[in-house]
């Protein structure tokens, strides 16, 4: 099965960034709850911090006055007062940082829960990873790392600055006006506007390179995850040299992306540093207006003038600092733009896939299904009498969703409840593809495909056994996809009997017990044959009406295969199989043979063809 891959898009600091910010708001603020409350509390506390900071800053001027005037008593009074102000200020700074980190946790919790819900809804994860990614590389990375970094920057860097700036800028603009009139205010505002314009051009490429680095990080990480998960296979192939060269190639690609990002950051960092340091000089330059032009302080005594200049400098430099705090966000916002556009792209594609899949599911709920030349129908869950077929295909044509050439055309077959169908044929002709259509993972092109209503449901066993990771208990692996907490204790004895019946009784020794977590992953611990046996144990536990086996005994001996089919018959579990081995014919009474170029033949097993 081929997956359709689109070229990864570049992201920039443009109108799409603001659209992504709006969409991100729906993720981090799903409703009026902890995130919104923490945001308000953080902003209010930050305002309190700035009030305390203002009064503590004015004390610096009092130090000058006491020292110039030689008043030791006044000096110690100011010293004690400043100490108390700084204790309060440090406490509020710590509280604001604590609240910002709490806000980060709330943002991440809301975002991850929403994105995971979209990802696992209506089979979106399958469509995105196996059929068509629509340009969304590394969806796992976008849910984990990109969300973590975006929420971190938003909660700890952006919100404490952006939401506070209107208050600080408003107050210090007013104080600057009382000191240096409109000339001082305009000078500082022009300085800020100039810095904003320059930053706009500097941070735009930063968003692009941040997104590129994230993709390269994901590809490099995935390579090492692949080596970790397939170490034995690679060792048998003696592929160490190849894997090292491929890992090195991906690393050097990542290295080049990071190097470009660092080069892009260089002018941003230079300008931010210059903007910050020059602001200190500007705070004194603005005092040219009240002192040398307007002569506001001609009548002030030399002893009082240092205090006035110090207080004025504090006010002016804090207005400049309020603006530089915004320009200092340039690097963070550039990186943030790359992260959130990757996240919102993932969200948009997931919603698109979910709606398309939901529409396909809705269209397949009809009990009466017509053959449609423009698109087939899958009718799952129709009501049947005992004599009706459990699987009915009428004029079905199907192909991989991303390809035009059909694997099979105009297939018509009915499988009665008493029949057991074997689908066989060479590799790659479309056996598993037909099962994907039955499972509604793929749409059919034309015709109708109907599955009956099964009281105990249907279980599909794929070619590759699947065991969820997380060092889960043996019980959880047997009852999967149910949660082990939903299975009562009185079922434990039956689980032990099932494990013994499929020749896996020793796993109780390997795991230590039935319900305890293990210190290994089952996919790594079991041989291919044992993996297939444990998958079949799940079938025996759930006892579905029908199990669809996709070469599910290929790694077993013929004797073990016979035991499996005997157990299914004994438990009255109907089955439909795919496979190559001639030994499978004896357990089925009807054969659907698919040949190259979509040729099909249907015959009873007493007319076996080799």
Asked if the structure places residue 448 within a domain, the reply is: yes
The verdict on 112 and 41 lying in the same domain is: yes
Is pLDDT at 387 greater than 70 in this prediction?
no
**List of residues 6+ apart from 47 with CB closer than 8 A:** 164, 167
- Residue 513 inside a domain? The answer is no
Q: Are residues 442 and 351 in the same domain?
A: no
Mean pLDDT computed over 59-81: 83
On whether both 325 and 456 belong to a single domain, the answer is no
Residue 492 within a domain: no
Domain carrying residue 66:
20-206+263-360
pLDDT at position 360: 58
Per-residue model confidence (pLDDT) at position 610: 46
Residue 154 falls within a domain, yes or no?
yes
Does residue 471 belong to any structural domain of this protein? no
Closest CA to 604 of 594, 595, 591: 591
Please report the pLDDT score of residue 115 as a whole number.
92
pLDDT recorded at residue 214: 85
pLDDT tens track for 409-421: 888 888 877 778 8
Most confident of 194-203, 232-241, 337-346: 337-346
The pLDDT confidence band at residue 382, using thresholds 50, 70 and 90, is: very low
Specify whether 270 is located in the same domain as 187: yes
pTM: 0.75
Q: Is the pLDDT of residue 3 over 80?
A: no
- Averaged pLDDT for residues 507-529: 90
pLDDT digit string, tens, across residues 21-35: 888 888 999 887 789
The pLDDT of residue 255 is above 90: yes
Q: What is the pLDDT of residue 155?
A: 93
Question: Quick one: 401 and 283 in the same domain?
Answer: no
Task: Look at residues 360, 378, 406 and tell me which one is the last residue of a structural domain.
Answer: 360
What is the rounded average pLDDT for all residues in the chain? Answer: 83
- 296: tokens are 């506001």
Q: Whose CA is closest to 354, among 127, 126, 124?
A: 124
Residues 325 and 430 in one domain: no
pLDDT at 176 over 80: yes
Q: How confident is the model at residue 444 (pLDDT cuts 50, 70, 90)?
A: confident
CA 426, CA 431: separation in Å to the nearest integer?
A: 9
Does 371 map to a domain?
no
pLDDT of residue 370: 33
Closest-CA residue to 349 (of 81, 65, 44, 5): 5
Q: Of the ranges 177-191, 286-300, 380-394, which one carries the lowest mean pLDDT score?
A: 380-394
Q: Looking at the structure, do residues 352 and 448 belong to the same domain, yes or no?
A: no
Q: Would the pLDDT of 254 be above 60?
A: yes
Reported as a single tens digit per residue, the pLDDT across 153-167 is 999 999 988 888 888
pLDDT digits (tens, 9 = 90+) for 559-588: 999 999 999 999 988 899 999 888 999 999
Structural domain count, the chain: 2
pLDDT of 92 strictly over 90: yes
Look at residue 536 and tell me whether its pLDDT is greater than 90: yes
Output the CA–CA distances (angstroms, integers) from residue 127 to 46, 141, 405, 464, in the order listed: 45, 17, 19, 18
Please check the confidence at residue 6 and state whether its pLDDT lies above 60: no
Cβ–Cβ under 8 Å, residues 35 and 29: yes
Distance CA 99, CA 160 (A): 10
**If you average pLDDT over residues 260-274, what whole number do you get?**
86
Is 346 part of a structural domain of the chain? yes
Residue 470, class by beta-carbon neighbours within 10 Å (0-12 exposed, 13-18 middle, 19+ buried)? exposed
Q: What is the pLDDT of residue 381?
A: 43
Whether the pLDDT of residue 223 is over 50: the answer is yes
**Per-residue tokens: 272:** 């931010």
Question: How would you class 242 by CB atoms within 10 Å of its CB: exposed for 0-12, middle for 13-18, buried for 19 or more?
Answer: exposed
Give a yes or no: residue 530 inside a domain: yes
336 and 421 in a single domain? The answer is no
Quick one: how far is CA 97 from the chain centroid?
26
Q: Are residues 396 and 355 in the same domain?
A: no
The predicted-structure confidence for 97-153, as pLDDT tens digits, reads as follows 999 999 999 999 999 999 999 988 888 888 888 887 777 888 888 998 899 999 999
The most confident of the ranges 215-219, 375-379, 498-502, 601-605 is: 498-502
What is the model's pLDDT at position 13?
62
Identify which of 312, 311, 323 has the alpha carbon closest to the alpha carbon of residue 279.
Answer: 323
What is the reported pLDDT for 467? Answer: 87
Q: Which residue has the higher pLDDT, 48 or 292?
A: 48
pLDDT at 12: 59
Q: pLDDT band for position 371 (50/70/90)?
A: very low
Residue-level pLDDT at 362: 53
Whichever domain contains 409, its CATH number is 3.40.50.300
Question: What span, in angstroms and rounded, lies between the C-alpha atoms of 364 and 440?
Answer: 9
């Amino acid at each position: 099965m081929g997956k359709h891959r689109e070229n990864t898009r570049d992201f920039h600091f443009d109108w799409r960034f603001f659209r992504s910010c709006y969409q991100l708001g729906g993720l981090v603020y799903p409703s009026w709850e902890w995130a919104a409350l923490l945001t308000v509390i953080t902003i209010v506390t930050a305002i309190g911090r700035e009030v305390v900071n203002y009064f503590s800053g004015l004390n610096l001027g009092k130090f000058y006055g006491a020292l110039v005037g030689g008043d030791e008593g006044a000096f110690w009074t100011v010293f004690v007062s400043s100490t108390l102000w700084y204790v309060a200020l440090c406490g509020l700074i710590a509280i604001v940082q604590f609240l910002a980190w709490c806000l980060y946790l709330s943002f991440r919790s809301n975002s991850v829960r929403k994105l995971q819900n979209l990802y696992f809804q209506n089979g979106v994860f399958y469509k995105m990873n196996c059929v068509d990614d629509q340009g969304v590389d590394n969806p796992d990375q976008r849910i984990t790392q990109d969300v973590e970094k975006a929420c971190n920057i938003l909660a700890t860097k952006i919100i404490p600055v952006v939401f506070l700036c209107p208050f600080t800028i408003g107050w210090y603009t007013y104080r600057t006006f009382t000191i240096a009139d409109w000339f001082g205010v305009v000078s500082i505002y022009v300085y800020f506007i100039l810095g904003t314009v320059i930053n706009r051009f500097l941070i735009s490429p930063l968003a692009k390179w941040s997104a590129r680095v994230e993709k390269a990080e994901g590809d490099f990480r995935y390579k090492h995850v692949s080596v970790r998960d397939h170490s034995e296979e690679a060792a048998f192939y003696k592929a160490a040299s190849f894997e090292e060269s491929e890992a090195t190639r991906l690393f050097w690609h990542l290295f080049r992306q990071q190097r470009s990002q660092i080069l892009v950051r260089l002018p941003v960092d230079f300008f931010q540093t210059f903007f910050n340091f020059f602001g200190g000089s500007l705070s004194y330059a603005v005092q040219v207006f009240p002192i040398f032009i307007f002569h506001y302080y001609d009548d002030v005594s030399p002893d009082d003038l240092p205090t006035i200049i110090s207080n004025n400098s504090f006010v002016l430099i804090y207005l400049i600092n309020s603006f530089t705090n915004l320009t200092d966000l340039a690097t963070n916002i550039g990186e943030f733009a790359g992260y959130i556009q990757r996240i919102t792209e993932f969200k948009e594609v997931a919603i698109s896939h979910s709606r398309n899949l939901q529409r396909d599911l809705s269209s397949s709920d009809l009990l009466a299904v017509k053959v449609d030349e423009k698109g087939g129908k899958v009718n799952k869950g129709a009501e049947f009498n005992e004599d009706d077929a459990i699987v009915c295909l009428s004029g079905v044509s199907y192909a991989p969703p991303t390809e035009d050439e059909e694997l099979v055309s105009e297939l018509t077959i009915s499988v009665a409840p008493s029949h057991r169908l074997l689908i066989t044929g060479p590799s790659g002709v479309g056996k598993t593809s037909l099962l994907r259509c039955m499972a509604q993972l793929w749409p059919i092109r034309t015709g109708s495909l109907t599955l009956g209503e099964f009281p105990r449901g249907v279980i599909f066993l794929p070619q590759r056994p699947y065991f969820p990771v997380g060092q889960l208990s043996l019980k959880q692996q047997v009852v999967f996809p149910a949660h082990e907490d939903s299975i009562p204790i009185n079922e434990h004895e039956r689980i032990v009997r099932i494990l013994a019946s499929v020749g896996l009784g020793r796993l109780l020794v390997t795991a230590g017990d039935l319900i305890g977590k293990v210190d290994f992953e089952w996919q790594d611990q079991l041989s291919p044959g044992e993996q297939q046996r444990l998958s079949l144990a799940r079938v025996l536990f759930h006892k579905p009406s029908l199990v669809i086996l996709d070469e599910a005994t290929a790694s077993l001996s013929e004797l073990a295969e016979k035991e499996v089919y005997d157990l299914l018959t004994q438990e009255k579990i109907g089955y439909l199989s795919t496979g190559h081995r001639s030994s499978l014919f004896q357990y089925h009474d009807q054969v659907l043979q698919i040949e190259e170029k979509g040729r099909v033949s249907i015959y009873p097993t007493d007319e076996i063809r080799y």
